[in-house]
């Protein structure tokens, strides 16, 4: 088996400054990729950028609020101008609002949809135009187990991530002719700054661990990152249009 390598490739990771995004950026760099960090606050990514440069990789830091699509298109163009291409796109930015379905407002629904679904589609679209010109590439969307099962109190989030999973299939089928592969990963609860408040509740954490039916533990960012790196690379050259659960067995239950 050939070693996993992304030598000579350029990857763009959105929301890369912390949590899963940070782990993905580091793992891609460790496997040879130059990395563009798409972040809301470039100062927050300074330490990460220095770490990746210390690995001998090139780094670009671009301001990307994924709800501002015009700015995102400009940021993508800036990455191509600075690093020459984008071979790998990781759509990591996302989030949700916890509330009962009876209480979801139109404003909250639109906020979650724009953050998780609309941004993933249109950032992918613009990057794919560059990839088509270059002869191909790999897009990996960070979906969620919430796109595969119902999580009470997270209806708008579940819907948005289910749409990302089906979007992954649609784009894979359309863009395969250009050599562009499109896949997704669907993580369970992972230890990050974002999940810390919920997981600090002992009853919630115990219930979550119980529902992760096979392994009964919370995930780690590096475990998501490893799957993303695999899907980005040549080892996954015949894999497209799939959503890989990284859920410890939650959705198998």
**What CA–CA distance (Å, rounded) separates 215 from 252?**
11
Annotated catalytic residue 178 = no
* DSSP per residue, 179-196: TEEEEEEEE--B-STTTH
User: Where in the chain are the domains?
Assistant: 10-192+220-246
Please give the span between the terminal C-alpha atoms of the chain, in angstroms, as a whole number. 32
- Do 44 and 18 contact (CB within 8 A), yes or no? yes
CB-based burial label for 243 (10 Å; 0-12, 13-18, 19+)? buried
**pLDDT confidence of residue 3:** 58
Which ranges of 91-241 does DSSP label H, i.e. alpha helix?
Answer: 106-113, 119-134, 155-175, 196-199, 202-211, 221-232
pLDDT given for residue 198 in this prediction: 87
**pLDDT at residue number 1:** 44
- Alpha-carbon separation of residue 57 from 87, 121, 142, 156, 232 (angstroms): 15, 28, 24, 38, 17
| pLDDT of 224 | 98
- With a CB cutoff of 8 Å and minimum separation 6, the contacts of 63 are 38, 39, 40, 41, 42, 71, 75
Judged on CB neighbours under 10 Å (0-12, 13-18, 19+), 159 is buried
- Nearest to 224, CA basis, from 175, 180, 179, 189: 189
Burial class (CB in 10 A: 0-12, 13-18, 19+), 96: buried
pLDDT along the chain (253 residues), means of 10: 80 97 98 98 97 98 97 98 98 95 98 98 98 98 97 96 98 98 96 88 93 92 98 96 97 90
Q: Is 11 helix (H, G, I), strand (E, B) or coil?
A: strand
Residue 250 DSSP code: G
Q: pTM of this prediction?
A: 0.95
**Top-tier CATH class for 10-192+220-246:** alpha beta
DSSP string, 23-51: HHHHHHHHTT-EEEEEES-GGGGHHHHHH
The helix (H) or strand (E) run that includes residue 244 is strand 243-246
Residue 144, phi then psi, degrees to nearest 5: -170, 155
State how far Cα 90 lies from the chain centre: 5
**Active-site residue (options: 31, 157, 168, 248):** 157
pLDDT score for 132 = 98
- Residues in the chain, total: 253
């Amino acid at each position: 088996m050939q070693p996993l390598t992304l030598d000579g490739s350029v990857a763009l990771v959105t929301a890369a400054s912390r949590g899963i995004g940070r782990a993905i950026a580091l793992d891609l760099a460790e496997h040879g990729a130059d990395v563009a960090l798409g972040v809301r606050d470039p100062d927050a990514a300074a330490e990460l950028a220095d770490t990746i440069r210390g690995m001998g990789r090139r780094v670009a830091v671009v301001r990307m609020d994924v709800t501002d699509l015009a700015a995102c298109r400009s940021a993508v163009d800036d990455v191509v101008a600075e690093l020459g291409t984008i071979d790998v796109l990781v759509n990591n930015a996302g989030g949700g609002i916890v509330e009962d379905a009876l209480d979801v407002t139109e404003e909250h629904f639109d906020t979650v949809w724009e953050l998780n679904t609309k941004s993933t589609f249109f950032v992918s679209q613009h990057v794919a135009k560059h990839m088509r010109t270059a002869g191909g590439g790999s897009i990996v969307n960070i979906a969620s187990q919430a796109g595969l099962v119902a999580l009470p109190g997270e209806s708008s989030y579940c819907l948005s991530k289910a749409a990302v999973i089906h979007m992954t299939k649609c784009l894979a089928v359309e863009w395969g002719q250009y050599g562009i592969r499109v896949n997704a990963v669907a993580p369970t609860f992972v230890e990050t700054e974002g999940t810390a408040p919920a997981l600090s509740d002992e009853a919630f954490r115990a219930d979550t661990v119980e529902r992760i039916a096979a392994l009964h533990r919370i995930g780690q960012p590096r475990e998501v990152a490893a799957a993303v790196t695999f899907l980005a690379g040549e080892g996954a050259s015949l894999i497209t249009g799939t959503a890989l659960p990284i859920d410890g067995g939650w959705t198998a239950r």
